[in-house]
């Protein structure tokens, strides 16, 4: 018999459910805050100095609602593989942008949970936070077993 | 993979629908050149020239308001400037009003032609009742470029 792996809980479906709900709430909240202030969010995107000008407005208009949809998917537990894959993709892209700006020494506000472009850039902290969320999203992607999800609820009630 | 693509498409559809049905705040195609940014930022605000700002300072009537982050302010700022990042405008409003009533001219500045901080500070102060605040565009660089004295480290 091998020794039990002390880190096995990391892959547990319960942890997935917790991460899933947490990430869902975060994406829903972040998406709504940005979706309600497109000009502010566009300014924040511009401050990253990464995207070409013509791409900034479409991204400011569309991305928040992609986040909202991802958030709802994760909260309800519907299409979780797709939702967590998309969440992971988004978080990976954000991490790359943050990392790029750390390397460039750009000092900007995050633009993650508000549309304020002001304030000192605390880019390293934002990057660490983002990577933490990315780790959670990947855990959900690989370990989720639909605990506490809407679909399970529907299945249970329809079987009675 | 397919679910992710479907969610992506759904999100974009929602975004398009919401954008088209709400009162438009942002065009699909925007101009992000420095010039158009600078003019957009200053809409509704009064810009003060470097000459006028310098004259006011020499008369001892200028109240410079540095809208940048505290770190940048500490490294160097215009003489006598107060550090008010835009999110602190509400907290600082009363103090600024007192100084303005004493006869000082409030001038917000930051760094860079397309910097949005000083216009945002100016707008927030106006909302607090400081009607006369003006903006010195690219104030930090232009002040130093003119060889004028600064304070700080």
Tell me what pLDDT residue A3 has: 58
Q: Please report where in the chains the tokens 């405008």 appear, as a residue.
A: B89
User: pLDDT value at position A118?
Assistant: 39
Task: Quickly tell me which residue has 């003060």 as its tokens.
Answer: B48
Name the residue among B10, B26, B28 with its Cβ closest to that of A39. Answer: B26
CB–CB contact B32 A107 (8 Å): no
pLDDT of residue A120: 44
Q: Which residues of chain A have a CB within 8 Å of the CB of B28?
A: 57-58, 61
Question: Which residue among B7, B30, B32 places its CB closest to the CB of A73?
Answer: B7
pLDDT, greater one: A146 or A65: A65
Which candidate from B1, B32, B85 shows the least CB-CB separation from A56? Answer: B32
Domain that holds residue B117: 44-145
| DSSP-assigned states of every residue in A103-121 | HHT------SSS----S--
CA angle B8, A106, B139 (to 5 degrees): 120
Output b/e per residue, A2-14; b: 16+ Cβ within 10 A. eeeeeeeeeeeee
What is the rounded distance in angstroms from the CA atom of residue A120 to the CA atom of residue B132? 27
> Using one digit for the tens of pLDDT, what is the confidence trace for B66-105?
999 888 899 899 999 999 998 899 999 999 999 999 999 9
pTM of whole model > 0.80? Answer: no
Q: What is the structure's pLDDT at A2?
A: 53
The per-residue pLDDT of chain A, averaged, comes to 80
Number of separate domains in chain B: 1
Chain B partners of A107 at a C-beta cutoff of 8 Å?
69
- Closest Cα in chain A to B115: A47
- The C-alpha of A62 sits at a distance from chain B's nearest C-alpha, in angstroms, of 5
Q: State the sign of the Cα–Cα–Cα–Cα dihedral B73, A109, A33, A55.
A: positive
Contact status of B23 with chain A (Cβ, < 8 Å):
no
Contacts of A64 in chain B (CB under 8 A): 15
Q: Is B9 on the interface with A (CB under 8 A)?
A: no
Q: Which pLDDT score, from 0 to 100, does residue B122 have? A: 93
Which one of B3, B12, B70 has the shortest CB-CB distance to A62?
B12
pLDDT score of A157 more than 90: no
Rounded to the nearest 5°, which phi and psi values hold at A46? -55, -40
Domain contains B121: yes
CATH number at residue B84: 3.40.250.10
Q: Are B63 and B105 in contact (CB under 8 A)?
A: yes
Q: Is there a domain that residue B9 lies in? A: no
Give a yes or no: residue B64 inside a domain.
Answer: yes
Query: Could you read off the pLDDT of A1-21 as tens digits, one per residue?
Result: 555 666 666 777 788 888 899
Give the nearest chain B residue to A68 (CA atoms).
Answer: B11
Determine, yes or no, domain membership for B49. yes
Determine, for residues B85 and A119 on separate chains, whether the beta-carbon distance falls below 8 Å: yes
| DSSP string over B61-82 | -EEEEE-S-HHHHHH-BSTT-E
Decide if B5 is inside a domain.
Answer: no
The residues, ordered by sequence, that sit 6+ positions from B132 with a Cβ below 8 Å of its Cβ are B100, B105, B106
Residue B63, in any domain of the structure: yes
Residues of chain A neighbouring B32 (CB-CB closer than 8 A): 46, 53, 56
Q: What is the mean pLDDT of chain B?
A: 88
Question: What value does the mean pLDDT take over residues B125-135?
Answer: 90
User: Is residue A119 over pLDDT 50?
Assistant: no
Whether B2 sits inside 8 A of A53 (CB atoms) is no
Lowest mean pLDDT among A16-25, A94-103, B7-16, B133-142: A94-103
Check whether A117 has a pLDDT greater than 80: no
Residue A111 pLDDT > 70: no
Q: List all residues of chain B from 123 to 152 with a beta carbon under 8 Å from chain A.
A: none
B133 part of a folded domain: yes
Between CA A69 and CA A75 the distance in angstroms is 10
């Amino acid at each position: 018999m091998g020794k039990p792996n002390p880190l096995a809980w990391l892959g547990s479906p319960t942890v997935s459910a917790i991460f899933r709900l947490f990430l869902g709430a975060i994406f829903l909240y972040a998406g709504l805050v940005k979706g309600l202030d497109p000009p502010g969010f566009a300014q924040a995107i511009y401050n990253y100095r990464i995207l070409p000008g013509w791409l900034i407005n479409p991204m400011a208009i569309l991305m928040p609602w992609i986040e909202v949809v991802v958030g709802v998917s994760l909260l309800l537990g519907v299409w979780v593989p797709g939702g967590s894959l998309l969440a992971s993709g988004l978080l990976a892209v954000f991490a790359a942008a943050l990392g790029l700006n750390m390397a460039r020494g750009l000092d900007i506000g995050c633009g993650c949970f508000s549309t304020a472009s002001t304030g000192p850039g605390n880019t390293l902290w934002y990057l660490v936070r983002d990577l933490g969320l990315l780790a959670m999203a990947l855990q959900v992607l690989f370990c989720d077993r639909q605990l506490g999800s809407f679909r399970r609820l529907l299945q249970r009630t329809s079987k009675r | 993979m397919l679910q992710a693509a479907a969610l992506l498409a759904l999100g974009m559809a929602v975004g398009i629908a919401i954008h088209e049905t709400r009162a438009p705040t942002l065009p699909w195609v925007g101009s992000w050149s420095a010039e158009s940014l600078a003019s957009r930022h200053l809409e509704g605000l009064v810009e003060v020239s470097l000459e006028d700002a310098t004259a006011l300072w020499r008369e001892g009537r200028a109240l410079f308001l540095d809208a940048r982050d505290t770190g940048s302010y500490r490294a160097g700022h215009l003489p006598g400037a107060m550090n008010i990042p835009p999110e602190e405008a509400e907290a600082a409003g009363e103090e600024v009003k007192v100084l303005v009533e004493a006869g000082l001219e409030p001038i917000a500045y930051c760094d860079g032609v397309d910097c949005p901080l000083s216009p945002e500070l100016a707008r927030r102060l106006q909302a607090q009742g400081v009607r006369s605040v003006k903006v010195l565009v690219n104030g930090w660089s232009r002040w130093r470029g003119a060889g004028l004295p600064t304070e700080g480290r």
